[in-house]
Amino acid sequence: MPDFENLSYRKSGAIATLTIDRPKALNALNQATLAEIQRAMQDAASDPSVHGVIVTGAGGKAFVAGADITEIASASPQEAQAFTRHGQAVFDLVETLGKPVIAAVNGYALGGGCELAMACTLRIAAENASFGQPEVKLGVMPGFGGTQRLPRLVGKGPAMQIILTAENIDAREAHRIGLVNEVVEPARLMTRAEEILLRIIANAPLAVRLAMEAVNHGLDAGQAQGLALESVSFALCAGTEDKREGTTAFLERRPPRFSGR
């Protein structure tokens, strides 16, 4: 995998860590960075040695301070639409990677940064993290999925307030409304993200993937279709070697050794 200009992408054991690294713009997402996130995520999806991904920002101040305002300020409507469709496609890839992706949010997660975090499977925030959708202050609106993922995560009322006031919320408030799963001291952020990811990837990979798909599709489709998908996916799990291994290991009182088949 060739080197990246605006991020680092490292694999250690079964975990790939993608660190967005554009210090001159507080890790803001320009088009080149979006394309690099896409490439790194495609690699994580296709590399069987990668079982889960952590996404974070370089430096102690920002996860991602939004889309790069200098690059997009003069975009025409056509260019703006292409930009938003590209961002949406990249964040859809993050959400549907088939492997758990944890956002370790270490500072500002604004606009596109909040939207990137929301596309991840789970969000762990450092105490100094803050979240917001400031787009309407700039004369635009969220365009990388914020109007869709935020209400699904926190409910319509809180999502409307965050999007329409354009005010940032701190990590405690983000936790209170369900935008983040946990808040930890900044020094513990990466360790905690890794701990949770290791817990997830110790489980049967196919079952984890199918459970994520059932949650995601069910939220989009409605409960009846979600339940139908759940039962088909459950049946798929029932035919796997991992099901045999998981149930046998339980009965033999030993830890399971999953093969992902």
**Considering the rule CB under 6 A, would residue 100 count as an interface residue with ligand DAK?**
no
Reduced to 3 states (helix: H, G, I; strand: E, B; else coil), residue 11 is strand
The answer to whether 28 contacts ligand DAK (rule: CB under 6 A) is yes
| Half-sphere exposure for 138 (CA within 13 Å, toward CB) | 19
Q: Judged by CB under 6 A, does residue 135 bind ligand DAK?
A: yes
The binder of ligand DAK chosen from 20, 26, 109, 174 (CB under 6 A): 26
Shortest Cβ 214–ligand DAK spacing (Å): 30
Q: What are phi and psi of 157, to 5 degrees?
A: -60, -55
CB of 208 to ligand DAK, least distance (A): 30
Is 194 a catalytic site residue?
no
CB of 97 to ligand DAK, least distance (A): 22
Find, among 258, 119, 120, 123, the residue nearest to 201 by Cα. 258
Q: Whole-angstrom Cα distance, residue 142 to residue 139?
A: 10
Inter-residue contact 70 to 115 (CB < 8 Å): no
Catalytic hit among 135, 167, 195, 213:
135
> Nearest-CB residue to ligand DAK?
111
Residue 110 binds ligand DAK, judged by CB under 6 A: yes
Minimum distance from residue 23 beta carbon to ligand DAK (Å): 8
Binding to ligand DAK (CB under 6 A) within 138-177 occurs at 138, 140, 143
Q: Looking at the chain, how many residues does it have? A: 261
Instruction: Give the Cα separation of 188 and 11 in Å (integer).
Output: 20
Q: In 1-135, at which residue ranges do the beta strands (DSSP E only) sit?
A: 7-12, 15-20, 52-57, 62-64, 101-105, 108-110, 122-126, 130-132
CA dist., res. 237 & res. 234, Å (int) = 5
Q: Give the per-residue contact string, 71-90, with ligand DAK (x = CB under 6 A; - = no).
A: -x--x----x--x-------
Gap between the Cα atoms of 194 and 200, Å rounded? 10
Q: Does 131 participate in binding ligand DAK (rule CB under 6 A)?
A: no
Question: CB of 115 within 8 A of CB of 91?
Answer: yes
Instruction: Output the smallest distance, CB 135 to ligand DAK, in A.
Output: 4
**How far, rounded to the nearest angstrom, does the alpha carbon of residue 235 sit from its chain's CA centroid?**
27
Q: Which stretch binds ligand DAK (CB under 6 A): 37-45, 135-143, 181-189, 229-237?
A: 135-143
Which residue in 36, 115, 194, 230 is the catalytic one? 115
Q: How many residues belong to the site for ligand DAK (CB under 6 A)?
A: 22
Query: In 3-state terms, what secondary structure has residue 32?
Result: helix
Q: Is-catalytic flag, 213?
A: no
Residues that bind ligand DAK (CB under 6 A): 25-26, 28, 65-70, 72, 75, 80, 83, 108, 110-112, 134-135, 138, 140, 143
Catalytic positions, written as ranges: 115, 135
